[in-house]
Structure 1
Amino acid sequence: MTILSASPALARALEERNYHDATPVQEAVLESGAAERDLLVSAQTGSGKTVAYGLALAATLLGDAETLPPGAEPLALVVAPTRELALQVQREIEWLYQYAGARVMSCVGGMEPRRERRELAAGAHIVIGTPGRLRDHLERGALDVTKLKAVVLDEADEMLDLGFREDLEFILESTPKERRTLLFSATMPKAIATLARRYQREAMRIEVAGGESGHADIEYRAIRVAPNEIESVVVNLLRVAEAPSALVFCNTREAVRHLHATLQERGFSAVLLSGELSQNERNHALQALRDGRARVCIATDVAARGIDLPSLALVIHAELPHDAEILQHRSGRTGRAGRKGVSALLVPNSRKRRAEQLLAGAGVQVAWSGPPTAEEICTLDQERLLQDPLLTGDGNEDDLVMARALLAERSAEDIASALVRVYRSRLPLPEDVQDPGFGRDRAAPEAGKRAPRETRDSPRARGVAGGGVWFRLDIGRKKNADPKWLLPMICRRGKITKQDIGAIRIFERETTFEVSAAAAGQFAKNVRRPDGDPILIEPVGAAPAPGQTAHAEPRRQHSSGERPLRAENAAGKKRKAR
């Protein structure tokens, strides 16, 4: 169906924006059976639903007329969960109805309420707002809904999640009973069904194909990461993608602040969104993303609700979401309006099973891989330099004069080297990261199926027996060496996980430990880097003699596959007991 079959005034606005083919949700609301009916629509964020209900309202508001009469009492009310979404909807509806002569205004928190009351008194055809502010205007008598023909609840599930049920019910009870009610929601929990039964009349149920299985334009990736390398992997993902804008999710405000500081230190133009920001700070952050002054936004789930970034091409889950529904909400910020997007989950080994459950619950297929390496990024940088405007742009006569002067004084190789340095100076340095190796070549389980449990015979349960490389620490029992603090220190220094460490043997003046062969090479490079820790780590080349193991027990296998450390000196205990 062509989207231009809408009202002539709306069709003109659509033509100017190069809208020709309707998205599935737009096509569904334009069907003849949906005309003038209450609608209960399940559609993912980014599916074109704002234009969809704008089109659906046209017949109700305009009838056979091409333009609306002068603005007086509102004819339509759109309720959205957040200020950002309400203002985004206002922008969409304004351009869609510009040739219909519609006056569109917003009533949202964080704005001057007296100015809004003056605008309402001056007359408006369509009012868009957040539940709390709309209720406030209704209670004060500033918002007259007696002539209202339609109400739209946008992202109704989020409004209920945010605790706006009472406000929504107050608004709906205040509006005329004969109004038309359009309810749009990404998910359809029982609370939404109850709201629909109570306030809609024989609503037509529309479920957009693919709504249950994620957005078709989003590519999901699961990235294996070492727990202490999550921030470094975020850096490398941002460097590989070079997306116009990217959104990184964390689960707490503290994690958002820490990652934001880390990315800024690395040279990224980044902003943060969390619940502690004032509305003015939030506005500045979002404006920086929209005008290109910032490329990366780090946010919590609540803080990111309702934001829309048309150029968003990458979503990174630095911490896994709490459930499959949140995974879809996060990922739905990208892959909009026919554009492609990537949703990347960073998965430590301890969270692998949880990640598989989330992906299965969301019904999405995912490709598992290790993180992008520094070498891969350097190769990409070389390819991108050859396409950079520095080289491909046309130079003027002044540029050519300077170029000839440089060639007269310096070799072509010197000049090319300087160009490379200039290019690299604009880019954050990639990080040295490793692939922990779990889950290689494994796809996520099909929707509805549980991921298999680790068995006692799996590689993880067997540890690194027979295939490890031995290293030495210059600290032993004389200096209170204990696996409880040695293991985290070894993992931090070598940037590996505890699954890569086999036996640990503590002697009088030194400790030896085993590292898996796959991780040993990178581990050896990492521990050579100075980090202020006085403990020396060096390879020993072979395992200690079997006769020496009386000083300490190697780590024993646990039935779950984990290997808790036990390094006890029986003789020492007896001496203490005496």
Structure 2
Amino acid sequence: MPFPTLPAPFTRALAERDYNDPTPVQSAVLEANAEGRDLLVSAQTGSGKTVAYGLAIAATLLGEAETLPPAAAPLALVIAPTRELALQVHRELSWLYAKAGARVIACVGGMDPRREHRALAEGAHIVVGTPGRLRDHIERRNLDTRDLRAAILDEADEMLDLGFRDDLEFILSQTPESRSTLLFSATLPKAIATLAERYQRDALRIAVKGQERGHADIAYRAIRVVPREIEHVVLNVLREADAPTAIVFCNTRNAVRHLQAGLTERGFSAVALSGELGQGERNAALQALRDGRARVCVATDVAARGIDLPTLSLVIHADLPHDAEVLQHRSGRTGRAGRKGTSVLLVPNSRRRRAEQMLMIAKITPDWSGPPSADEIRRLDGERMLGDPLFTEPAAEEDLALAESLLAQRSPQELAAALAKVYRTRLPAPEDVTDPGDTGPRRSTGRLPYDPADAERIEAMGPAVWFRLNLGRRDNADPRRLLPMLTRRGGIDRQEIGAIRIFDRETKFEVRGNAAGRFAASFARNGSPEIQVEALSGNEGAPPERKGPKGFKSPRAVKHTREAGKPPRKPA
């Protein structure tokens, strides 16, 4: 379905970017019943939400006109949780509003506030920024919000998680009550609902299920690997795909440094992104990717947050993601706005069960295979060679003259062989790698994945189900802290959590059988890489005696257990 009728400047801007059909979230905000209203939208990263809210506020900013008046006090304010996301939004809105004559300014931490002050003094139509920097400009009276017609909170749930609630409330309190307020969030916990109730009027609720849309433009592959050959497999996957831009995810800074150095030594133009880089180094790396001087980015999850590269068509998980949500966030860097992308997981046989659980939770069915071999890549090189610009672009007169001279001295076969050799030397040499073989789905060793679609099987385990949490006494785990977190993320009541056993490095706890599936599904949606749970089969981890109705203990039945050989830890 094509975009509905839009003002001419936006129609031209979208056409120039090859935006032919709107994404689900873009269609939803452009419906007639959404025009001019406050919006409360749940949509995932990569769903096209920046263009969605840019188009949603167009009528509010322009009215019946096709171009904006000269810039003065801002008409719209976009608040984003991170510098990278804010800069990405700034770029998106700049091209979207360019033909409407908009001046879009970014105000983010890590940049020179004096330069931002000068830019604001010259006037702006749209200001995009992070909460802390925007508040600072308002308090210093650099940012005039009196004429504001629209305020957008992008990734509002992350802003609350990062502790920006006070800043958000201050900023919104400084804006006119007549403004439109658009709130976009991947999830809608109670804190978001409270914020919406306070600052929105009769908001239209729009829910775009990222899972249904999320994999449509992404092809998933899972490749069996030998652990010691992961770097070689990454190289072969990059060579096989020949993507204009690719990102390779690692779980640690050291892994990023090592892999980026290895790829560079083998001839790839690769940059690294990790938390140890300064803002100048980070900007230089991203610019190299955007202008084509680098084609591969090796990054950690945190450092890659907010990256938007239009030519990114390949994501490689050199290290498995921590959970299904991280897998989807990583993969969502590609396959955006109708473009196709590929997400490749490298899976040692020892991690296959974990990978399968993660994929099942994410409702992803990948193509399993061994790694691309050196022979396969050489065959692809031969096929691609004839499509190289060397063969497709017209030859200059001097080149044709040189060709005639060479043919007079050498046979066509000799010249073709020399050309093939020159072509191959321009490319990183593929590596010989091992296919460890298809072991098939691994048999369960007792732990059950917390798959929302698997709730019935979990609930069939009996009157109470035991779960393991990766926090223990060393993490200052305490029932007063654990219970609220488990009930909030698990979507259940305190009465549905039974006995709790706190160990040095982990905690085991009971959930009522008729609530276990609901708990598992909710935690899968609302969990995080740092806090993970897994269901245990049978009575693994259960106390020796189970008391109370149907063997279920109340939440007060808490037991601190010292691990074998470990001295008791003093309270923090």
Shorter-chain TM-score tier: 0.7 to 0.9
Q: Which amino acid aligns with 1:237?
A: V
| 1:362 equivalenced with 2:367 (yes/no) | no
Describe the shift of the 1:84–1:61 C-alpha distance in structure 2 as closer, same or farther (beyond 3 A): same
Residue 32 of structure 1 corresponds to 32
| 1:290 equivalenced with 2:290 (yes/no) | yes
Listed as ranges, the matches of 1:533-552 within 5 Å are: none
Partner secondary structure for residue 88 of structure 1 = helix
Q: Which whole-Å CA distance do the structure 2 matches of 1:24 and 1:422 have between them?
A: 48
Residue 242 of structure 2 corresponds to 242
Describe the shift of the 1:191–1:341 C-alpha distance in structure 2 as closer, same or farther (beyond 3 A): farther
Describe the shift of the 1:312–1:13 C-alpha distance in structure 2 as closer, same or farther (beyond 3 A): closer
Listed as ranges, the matches of 1:225-264 within 5 Å are: 225-264=225-264
Residue 47 of structure 1 corresponds to 47
Residue 112 of structure 2 corresponds to 112
Describe the shift of the 1:227–1:362 C-alpha distance in structure 2 as closer, same or farther (beyond 3 A): same
Residue 150 of structure 2 corresponds to 150
Listed as ranges, the matches of 1:290-439 within 5 Å are: 290-439=290-439
Q: Which whole-Å CA distance do the structure 2 matches of 1:193 and 1:93 have between them?
A: 27
Q: Which amino acid aligns with 1:448?
A: A
Find the structure with the greater CA-based Rg. Answer: 1
Describe the shift of the 1:402–1:314 C-alpha distance in structure 2 as closer, same or farther (beyond 3 A): same
Residue 83 of structure 1 corresponds to 83
Describe the shift of the 1:352–1:18 C-alpha distance in structure 2 as closer, same or farther (beyond 3 A): closer
Residue 126 of structure 1 corresponds to 126
Q: Judge conservation of contact 1:368–1:441 (CA < 8 Å) in 2.
A: no
Unpaired segments of 5 or more residues in structure 1?
Answer: 453-578
Q: Which whole-Å CA distance do the structure 1 matches of 2:281 and 2:361 have between them?
A: 36
Q: Which whole-Å CA distance do the structure 2 matches of 1:170 and 1:233 have between them?
A: 50
Residue 103 of structure 1 corresponds to 103
Partner secondary structure for residue 314 of structure 1 = strand
Residue 159 of structure 2 corresponds to 159
Deviation at 1:238, TM superposition (A): 0.4
Deviation at 1:73, TM superposition (A): 1.8
Partner secondary structure for residue 120 of structure 1 = helix
Deviation at 1:441, TM superposition (A): 8.1
Q: Judge conservation of contact 2:151–2:179 (CA < 8 Å) in 1.
A: yes
Partner secondary structure for residue 402 of structure 2 = helix
Deviation at 1:74, TM superposition (A): 1.4
Partner secondary structure for residue 3 of structure 1 = coil
Residue 475 of structure 2 corresponds to none
Deviations 1:52-76 (A, max 9, x none): 1111101222223333333222111
Deviation at 1:263, TM superposition (A): 0.7
Q: Which amino acid aligns with 2:303?
A: A
Partner secondary structure for residue 73 of structure 2 = coil
Residue 448 of structure 1 corresponds to 453
Deviations 1:261-320 (A, max 9, x none): 111111110001111111111111001101111000001111111111000010011111
Q: Judge conservation of contact 2:353–2:442 (CA < 8 Å) in 1.
A: no
Q: Judge conservation of contact 2:211–2:362 (CA < 8 Å) in 1.
A: no
Residue 3 of structure 2 corresponds to 3
Describe the shift of the 1:403–1:86 C-alpha distance in structure 2 as closer, same or farther (beyond 3 A): same
Residue 508 of structure 1 corresponds to none
Deviation at 1:214, TM superposition (A): 2.6
Listed as ranges, the matches of 1:548-563 within 5 Å are: none
Q: Which whole-Å CA distance do the structure 1 matches of 2:28 and 2:443 have between them?
A: 34
Describe the shift of the 1:194–1:322 C-alpha distance in structure 2 as closer, same or farther (beyond 3 A): farther
Deviation at 1:17, TM superposition (A): 4.4
Q: Which amino acid aligns with 1:449?
A: D
Deviation at 1:378, TM superposition (A): 1.2
- The TM-score, its normalising length taken from structure 1, stands at 0.73
Unpaired segments of 5 or more residues in structure 2?
Answer: 458-572
Q: Which whole-Å CA distance do the structure 2 matches of 1:378 and 1:183 have between them?
A: 50
Describe the shift of the 1:105–1:300 C-alpha distance in structure 2 as closer, same or farther (beyond 3 A): same
Q: Judge conservation of contact 1:234–1:316 (CA < 8 Å) in 2.
A: yes
Deviation at 1:370, TM superposition (A): 1.0
Query: Following superposition, which runs of at least 4 residues in structure 1 exceed 6 angstroms of deviation?
Result: 441-447
| 1:201 equivalenced with 2:206 (yes/no) | no
Deviation at 1:213, TM superposition (A): 6.3
Q: Which whole-Å CA distance do the structure 2 matches of 1:66 and 1:420 have between them?
A: 55
Deviation at 1:19, TM superposition (A): 4.0
Describe the shift of the 1:12–1:335 C-alpha distance in structure 2 as closer, same or farther (beyond 3 A): closer
